[in-house]
Each structure stands twice: as structure tokens, then as C-alpha cells.
Amino acid sequence: MFHGWENFYIMAGTAAATFAGLLFVVITLCVSLATTPAARGVHAFVTPVLVHFGGVLFLALILLAPWPSALPVALILGLQGLAGIAYATFVILLVRKLDFVSLDARDWIAYAGAPALANAGLLAGAFGLIAEKSFAPYAIGGAVILFLFVGILDAWDMTLWIIGNRETAQDTTVENRSGLRGS
């Protein structure tokens, strides 16, 4: 079914697990933001990136398993694609509520459009597996690549934002603490 794709999914799964681990390093940069209104925004951007990397790891594990037929794989991929589209809709609604950051078109493409496209690729791959079409592994592989690169882009963008706002958050925290001491 996915003969010849083993190395691709081993590499993709390894990359996703590594990036998910690095994401936790980024979170340690957020410690000073925990007492600011920005913490809610960081959560709105960190969790989807972690979901993308976790999804790639999940896909790699599912696709490397020795399945007796394509049907169970197609069902799992279809459910993941549908769940991903529902989650992307949730993320869009969550991000629209943020009032401390304004997103431009590139941000909306990276945080909403590309993940929706990747999930649509999973759905296309799932239907292709059921119909025994030759494009199915390529649609699934394309979705995996898109998830990885969107995750990397979003994690980098978020890291730069955290670093840029870290001093402001530390100043706010120091002011809050000094205000408590002065009381």
C-alpha cells in the first residue's frame, strides 16, 4: 500500500517529534508572559502548532503499521482530516477573538488556510485509498509536508513574537510586583 514510502514517514515522524520537543523549549520562553493578557494569545498559537506536529507523528505511525487492507487506513485518515478541518475552524474563531495582535493575510494563510488545505489533502488521500487511485499516497504525503512546514513557519513566527514581547511582559510583571510591594 505504501511500499517505498517507509523512509519518508520515518523522517516525517522523527521531524514532527523533534519539532514538538523544541516547541516545549519555546514555551519556556513564555514563562514571563504567564501573568499577562498575552498568555491567552500564546495558547491560541502554540496549541495548533503542537496539534500539527502531533498529527504528523500520528500519521507516520498509522501509515507505517502493517495494515491488512487500505480501508482502515482510509477511515483513520478521513476522520483525522475531518477533525482537522473542525479544529481549524475552532482556531480561526479563537484567533479572531484576540485583541492584542492583528494578523495580516500571510498570518491567516499560515494559521488557517494551509492547515485546512493539508486536511483537505488527507481527505482526498483517504478517498483515493478507498477508490484505489494512484494519487492517494502523494496527496497524503503532500499533506504531511504541508503540516510540517506550516508548523515550522508558525513556530518560528511565534518564537519571534515571544522574544519581541518578552521584555514588555517582564516590565509589566515587575510593575505588578512592585505595586504589590508598595501596598
Taking Cα atoms as reference points, which of 100, 95, 135 lies closest to residue 113? 95
**Residue 139, number of CB atoms within 10 A of its CB:** 21
Least confident range of 121-135, 145-159, 161-175: 161-175
Q: Is the pLDDT of residue 179 over 60?
A: no
Beta strands in the chain (DSSP E): none
Mean pLDDT along residues 136-158? 91
Identify whether 104 is part of a domain: yes
Given this model, what pLDDT does residue 29 score?
Answer: 64
Number of domains within the chain: 1
Name residue, grid cell 504589590. 180
Taking Cα atoms as reference points, which of 15, 28, 157 lies closest to residue 95? 157
The larger pLDDT score, comparing residue 173 to residue 139, is at 139
Q: Are 153 and 17 in contact (CB under 8 A)?
A: no
C-alpha cell at 175: 510593575
Identify whether 178 is part of a domain: no
Taking Cα atoms as reference points, which of 113, 100, 121, 83 lies closest to residue 168? 100
Q: Are 52 and 19 in contact (CB under 8 A)?
A: no
Identify whether 12 is part of a domain: yes
Identify whether 174 is part of a domain: no
Q: What is the C-alpha separation between 89 and 95, in angstroms, rounded?
A: 10
Identify whether 37 is part of a domain: no
Q: What is the C-alpha separation between 127 and 59, in angstroms, rounded?
A: 16
Domain that holds residue 102: 6-29+46-158
DSSP 3-state assignment of 134?
A: coil
Identify whether 177 is part of a domain: no
Given this model, what pLDDT does residue 31 score?
Answer: 64
Q: What is the C-alpha separation between 9 and 23, in angstroms, rounded?
A: 21
Share the mean pLDDT of the chain.
81
Identify whether 152 is part of a domain: yes
Mean pLDDT along residues 107-126? 91
The larger pLDDT score, comparing residue 3 to residue 93, is at 93
